Amino acid sequence: MGVSVSSLALLDARADDVGSRIHWEMHVRAGGDPESVGPTAGAGHVFIYGPVRLDDRAVAHINALRDALLRRERCIVEDHQGRPRLI
pLDDT digits 0-9 by tens, 62-71: 999 999 999 9
**What is the pTM assigned to this prediction?**
0.87
Q: What is the pLDDT of residue 3?
A: 61
Closest to 69 in 3D by CA, of 28, 31, 23, 30: 23
Number of domains in the chain: 1
CB 30, CB 11: distance < 8 Å: no
Cα separation, 7 vs 30, whole angstroms: 11
Cα separation, 35 vs 28, whole angstroms: 13
Residue ranges making up the domain that contains 28? 5-86
Where is pLDDT greater, at 2 or 41? Answer: 41
Mean pLDDT of the chain: 91
In this structure, what are the phi and psi dihedrals at residue 44, rounded to the nearest 5 degrees? -85, 5
Dump pLDDT digits (tens) for 5-37: 787 899 999 999 999 999 999 999 988 887 899
